[in-house]
Amino acid sequence: MLFGFVLFVLISLALLHIAAVADKEQRSHPSGTQRSPHSARSAVVKPAERVDDLQTERRRYEALQHAYEQLQQELAEQKALVEQLQNASLQPPVNESLRQECLRLRRDLDQQQAHLHAEWQYNTFSKLQTLLTNYPSAQKIAQLKPDLPAQNLTALFTPLEHLADDWGWQAIGSVWEQVPYNPQWHQADSEDIHPEEPVYVRFIGYRSGDRILCPAKVSRSLPTLVND
């Protein structure tokens, strides 16, 4: 398209130049006018004038040739730019590359979380293994011998104490201990118990630092078993 435009410009300039020369000839020799031999001799173009005309035409030609070369160079640059854009469109966009990288990192993170969870389960089982393996047998013995002293079974729960220590859990109170009622740490068995009122710990609670994992269950009185 650009080459056709350049060719059209060159042809138009050539036609304008021919028309200008013809018009000049017509003005210098009007139709129907007889020229004398003297006027014919004066109409002869001098060599110096002819040289000037040739030089002028040469400069016009060089100017047109220079303009044509510039247009050709611009056309080549535009063609190269189009090729670069086409090549760039074949490559995956940057956003797609970032998305793929995010997906890969997400998969790695999920795998790492699954591995850590499995490792946590294994470590927890290792700490509770004695309780988990012996408790079913102890339960069966208790069913066969209801009069078996409970003291014989307390050793089974030692792993729980070790597990709480390893995880940094702290007990809230101790069993049957008398403490002032604290609504943040205690769960009362009656709604009319007021803060700082003396209560007894029925079941201990646990906390981790300032976070209450489960409050201790308290009451105004001890179990009947203790009073007996």
**pLDDT tens digits, 189-225:** 999 999 999 999 999 999 988 999 999 999 999 887 6
What's the CA gap between 148 and 1, in Å, rounded? Answer: 105
How many CA atoms are closer than 13 Å to the CA of 19, on its beta-carbon side?
6
Domain membership flag for residue 73: no
Higher pLDDT, 228 or 172: 172
Is residue 161 domain-resident?
no
Residues spanned by the domain of 203: 168-227
- The SS3 call for residue 216 is strand
* DSSP 8-state symbol, 209: T
Asked whether residue 146 is assigned to any structural domain, the reply reads: no
Query: Nearest Cα to 217, choosing from 190, 192, 197, 194?
Result: 190
Give residue-wise pLDDT tens across range 120-145. Answer: 888 888 887 877 777 777 778 778 87
Angle at 147 between CA 144 and CA 150, to 5 degrees: 100
Residue 62 located in a structural domain: no
Long-range Cβ contact pairs of 18-24 (< 8 A, separation 24 or more): none
**Length reported for the chain:** 228
Radius of gyration of the chain (CA): 54
Q: Tell me, yes or no, whether 18 lies in a domain.
A: no
Give a yes or no: residue 193 inside a domain. Answer: yes
Lowest mean pLDDT among 8-17, 26-35, 110-119, 169-178: 26-35
- Supply φ then ψ for residue 92, to 5 degrees: -65, 135
Residue 205 domain-assigned (yes or no) = yes
User: What is the three-class DSSP state of 89?
Assistant: helix
What CATH number should be reported for the domain holding residue 184?
2.30.22.10
Q: What SS3 class is residue 172?
A: strand
Q: Tell me the pTM.
A: 0.46
* C-alpha span between 6 and 53 (Å, rounded): 25
Computed over every residue of the chain, the mean pLDDT equals 75
Describe the strand order of the beta sheet including 170-172 as a list of residue ranges.
170-172, 205-208, 211-214
pLDDT of residue 182: 96
Tokens standing for residue 32: 């129907």
> Residue 15's pLDDT band (boundaries 50, 70, 90)?
low
- Angle (CA) 222-223-227 rounded to 5° is 80
List helix spans (H) across the chain: 2-28, 37-43, 47-90, 94-144, 158-166, 224-227
pLDDT of residue 207: 92
User: What is the number of domains present in the chain?
Assistant: 1
Tell me whether residue 187 is in a domain: yes
